[in-house]
Amino acid sequence: MKFGVLQFPGSCDEVDALEAARMVGEAELIWHRDRDLQGADAIVVPGGFSYGDYLRAGAIARFSPAMESVIEFAREGGLVLGICNGFQVLCEAHLLPGALLPNVNLRFTSRQVRLDVVAPDTAFTSACPPGRQLSIPAKHSWGRFHADAETLERIERDGQVVLRYAQGENFNGSVGDIAAVSNETGNVMGLMPHPEHAVQELTGGSTDGLSIFQSIRLAAERVAA
């Protein structure tokens, strides 16, 4: 099982994501100018400030050659996880519904947050311990998830809301406390908190993030089997 982790100019958390992925499988970095996804079974679009996020978070990265391949990969059912800036990129690429807007407090905010696993049977959450909250750091200034009423109703109804901020933890003002959403077919998920920063007790404050990567591995193996 192999992860490919995209690297844009301005990516910051790509090495953290690479190391987290390597705790459950193989993983390689994929340079933004490369179209070749190197046979990866799952793609991680990591956090950071791709292209400086200068126009709008994620807006430019989504047109990179690597992202074009990722869009095709996702349409064929490939597993894609977008973390923070990666979530923004996947929304800009229309692989995920909705958009990310500036935090209500208008400040970059870095905080360990608790998350409720709303959809425990997805390709990204099946290894999460049942009934338990995840404790994962979040750190961003553009993390307020927004979707129009119709979209919101649809994603809630179709089980596309995967993680929610636990009570009192929604500092960015996301609609419906939504922390993670998936696409209709369930093979693409984006989330603002950083599971790759919660994989080691020593530096992560918890190891809850690892279950997201383990879930992806299980899902990839099911596809392969």
Partner 1 sequence: MRARVLIRPKAGILDPQGVAVERALPALGFDGVENVHVGRLIELDVAEEGQLQPMCEKLLANPLVEDYEIQVLG
Partner 2 sequence: MSAAATLPSLTDAIALGLTDSEYELICEKQGAPPNILELAMYSLLWSEHCAYKHSKKLLRTLPTEGPHVVMGPGENAGAVDAGHGLVCAFKVESHNHPSAVEPFQGAATGVGGILRDIFAIGARPVAVLDSLRFGELGGPGSARSRYLLDGAVSGIGHYGNSIGVPTVGGEVYFEGPYEQNCLVNAMALGLAPREALVRSAAAGPGNAVVLFGASTGRDGIGGASVLASAELGEDDDKRPTVQVGDPFEEKKLLECSLELLELGLLVALQDLGAAGLTSSASEMASKGEVGIDIDIAAVPLREADMEPFEVMVSESQERMLCVVEPRNVDAVLEVCEKWEVNGAAIGAVTDTGRMRVLRDGELLGDMSVRALVDDCPLYDLDPVKPTAALYPPPAATLSADASPQESLLALLASSNIASRRPLFEQYDSIVGSRTIRRPEQADAAVLALPDGSALAVSIDGNGRRVAADPRNGTIATVLECAANLACVGAEPLGTTNNLNFGNPEKPHIAWQLTEAVAGLGEACRALAAPIVGGNVSLYNEGATGPIYPTPVIGMVGRLPDGRRAGRLGFLNAGDGLALVGPFAPSQPASELAKLRGHVLPDGLPPVNLPDAVAALAAVREAVRSGALSSAHDVAEGGIAVALAECALAGRLGATVTLGDGWWEALGAPGEDGAPNWPEGARDAALFGEGPAGILVSGPEAGLRSLAAQTHVRLIGHVGGECLRIALDGQDLIDASVEELAEAHAGGLKGYFA
Active-site amino acid positions: 84, 194, 196
Binding mask 158-197 for partner 1 (x = CB under 8 A): ---------------x------------------------
Interaction between residue 62 and partner 2 (CB under 8 A): no
Interaction between residue 51 and partner 2 (CB under 8 A): yes
User: What is the footprint of partner 2 within residues 118-157 (CB under 8 A)?
Assistant: 137, 139, 141
Binding mask 10-39 for partner 2 (x = CB under 8 A): xxxx-xx--x--------------------
Distance CA 60, CA 54 (A): 9
- Choose which of 75, 94, 111, 222 interacts with partner 2 (CB under 8 A): 111
Interaction between residue 200 and partner 2 (CB under 8 A): yes
Helices 210-224 and 14-22, axial angle in degrees (round to 10) = 60
2-7 β-sheet, strand order: 26-31, 2-7, 42-45, 79-83, 188-191, 178-182, 161-165, 109-117, 134-140
- Choose which of 35, 36, 38, 63 interacts with partner 1 (CB under 8 A): 63
- Choose which of 110, 132, 185, 222 interacts with partner 2 (CB under 8 A): 110
Residue 2, strand partner residues: 26
Distance CA 100, CA 84 (A): 10
Distance CA 161, CA 122 (A): 10
Distance CA 104, CA 1 (A): 39
- Contact yes or no for 17/5 (Cβ under 8 A): yes
CB nearer partner 2, residue 186 or residue 204: 204
Q: Are strands 99-101 and 144-146 parallel, antiparallel or unpaired?
A: antiparallel
- Choose which of 62, 144, 164, 197 interacts with partner 2 (CB under 8 A): 197
16 binds, among partner 1, partner 2, none (CB under 5 to 8 A by kind): partner 2
Helices vs strands, H then E, count in the chain:
6, 11
Residues that bind partner 1 (CB under 8 A): 55-56, 59-60, 63, 92, 98-99, 101-106, 144, 146, 148, 173
